[in-house]
Chains A and B, each alone.
Chain A
């Protein structure tokens, strides 16, 4: 398998923004992850290595350095709960425990029905509206248990 023509066209345009092709690697990893439903398969890393003219091990080394890249499949929805200082001071640990109860997912895992994965993340830059989580790329701020429940309840 190789990259789709759509992604190849996109990446060809992307790398033109930089004097060196490799600079497009991290944005390209993001796009592949989006296209694959939130994770990067070994095949995707190999395809990217080929496109960028790198060894697969180099692409793997970059992908594993960055917390936003995931190398294993996850649930349909990803809940990233901030556990840094401003959020902790306003109840992040309580929120996290509640998110786990509501979703049925342990921290760092996936619910048995495959619907939710829950992770701890570092400061998301929403400290003045703590506590917060990111759900599938959207911030939800100023959370308490009932708002969190409502938001998670509206996930399909």
Chain B
């Protein structure tokens, strides 16, 4: 693999990387200083983010600059406006935002300042999943340091720009990663997603204009402001620019979080970055971007890992969370686990999702346990088609339907074999953890 420039993880290995002193020594807070002192106009900041081609790193790949541009004109709409940073990171397979928050929290804070400046936001709320205690405490300590240094709060760096950054703790519900579920949760309610429209830019937190962005998206902003759109576009491929954080987990020799340019093939990533499938085994399948993206069979391992190429291969780039399954893995067992997750996490507002996720789970479960019927496979397909696309308030229903359709499409033979045999030949030895009825937190 060719050498390539890195920036996202450039500081995480430094001693005391989470402190202001280290961040400053690495040129930290120079981007916001430049923006405030030159000064830039907010539209110029949005302009450079647009030109850079940065696409959101939270799963949908939506252009960040365009999203910022959706916020209403401040001269015509005086409502306070907010940035909500999505640090809920709960898509199975995804473990990248945590690295940035634990090891380089000031980078996220500077990103928040730049985003708030660009969108005239008076405050940013960082919504961190409750389990990420170290992320929370590192970020809180970094905000305190930055506040004491005049970088957060009133009249930042002696200018008339004021901006607060507040930490907010979630409590273990995946659906609060969906942007409108996040806003409900931040307002102190159950995380029930809101129908769209209205979109957050029109009516978000407390009915005010709001932008929700993923941690890694915001983290990119100071680099783009400092180095320019041209620099950013020199990395990656034309429609997926910059570098991204890859999470690779499952059956590989070296799972981890790696900074990579877009466009390497899945094969290169598995073999050269993660040092190959473990135990000398062969690849069977992989999820390219988290458990809600359609899994792909080994025959498609030459797909390039960028948004458009993975889409063309019939799946999604998602959160760049590759989950690798070796030749001994059972697809029915894997789908049982995944369907159980979406069943557990459906908020229950939409009947297609509430009942559909339950059905998918039950059917995968019975196939995986050798109690399936051949008609179950068509049932999985018709249920999934009843759930997605865009048939429900939010995309959790899609997140359950998409991997189901892909599994049945690419691995129908494996399900059929379980059904024919009345058992799953690839099932691991059963484990006997004693379970009470309410076994799931």
Contacts and interface: CB of A to CB of B under 8 A. Distances in A.
A binds B: yes
Contacts of B344: 122
A86 B436 contact: no
B419 interface: no
B129 A125 contact: yes
Interface string B152-196: 000000000000101011111110000000000111111100000
B93 A86 contact: yes
A96 B431 contact: yes
Interface string A97-112: 1011000001111000
Contacts, number: 179
A65 B176 CA distance: 11
Given A20-B206, A94-B431, A107-B435, A86 B132 contact: no
The CB with the most chain B CB atoms within 10 A, among A29, A83, A84, is that of A84
B321 interface: yes
Interface string B427-441: 010011111111111
A134 interface: yes
Interface in A107-136: 107-109, 119-130, 134
A67 B171 contact: yes
The CB with the most chain B CB atoms within 10 A, among A25, A94, A107, is that of A107
A128 B191 CA distance: 27
A127 B249 contact: yes
A125 B95 contact: yes
A110 to B, nearest CB: 9
Contacts of B91: 123
Contacts of A85: 92-93, 250, 287, 291, 323, 334, 337-338, 341
Given A97-B433, A108-B438, A127-B95, A22 B187 contact: yes
Contacts of A20: 187-188, 206
A128 B190 contact: no
A24 interface: yes
A86 B191 contact: no
Contacts of A80: 441
Interface in B102-141: 129-134
A97 B92 contact: no
B90 interface: yes
Interface size class of B (residues with CB under 8 A): 35 or more
A84 B321 CA distance: 14
A26 B88 CA distance: 14
Interface in A52-92: 52, 61-62, 65-70, 80, 83-86, 88-90
Contacts of B324: 89
Interface stretch (B69-77, B251-259, B302-310): B251-259
A93 B337 CA distance: 11
A89 B247 CA distance: 15
Nearest to A126: B95
Given A27-B168, A86-B250, A96-B433, A68 B440 contact: no
Contacts of A68: 130-131, 171-172, 441
A120 B171 CA distance: 15
A25 B171 contact: no
A2 interface: no
Nearest to B432: A97
Contact of A30 (B169, B187, B439, B440): B169
Interface string B251-282: 10001110000000000000000000000000
A22 B188 contact: yes
Given A108-B437, A128-B248, A26 B169 contact: yes
B98 interface: yes
A153 interface: no
Contact of B247 (A61, A108, A127, A137): A127
B329 to A, nearest CB: 7
Given A23-B186, A125-B90, A97 B441 contact: no
Given A119-B439, A122-B174, A123-B92, A86 B323 contact: yes
Counting from the closest, the 6 A-B pairs by CB-CB distance are A108-B439, A66-B171, A25-B188, A68-B172, A86-B249, A22-B188
22 contacts: A17-B166, A19-B80, A26-B169, A26-B185, A30-B130, A62-B188, A67-B171, A67-B172, A68-B171, A69-B171, A84-B92, A84-B341, A85-B92, A86-B323, A97-B432, A107-B435, A121-B441, A122-B174, A122-B341, A122-B344, A127-B321, A128-B257
Interface of B: 80, 89-95, 97-98, 129-134, 164, 166, 168-174, 185-191, 206, 247-251, 255-257, 287, 291, 321, 323-325, 329, 333-334, 337-338, 341, 344-345, 428, 431-441
Given A86-B255, A107-B439, A128-B248, 4 more contacts: A23-B188, A66-B170, A85-B341, A128-B256
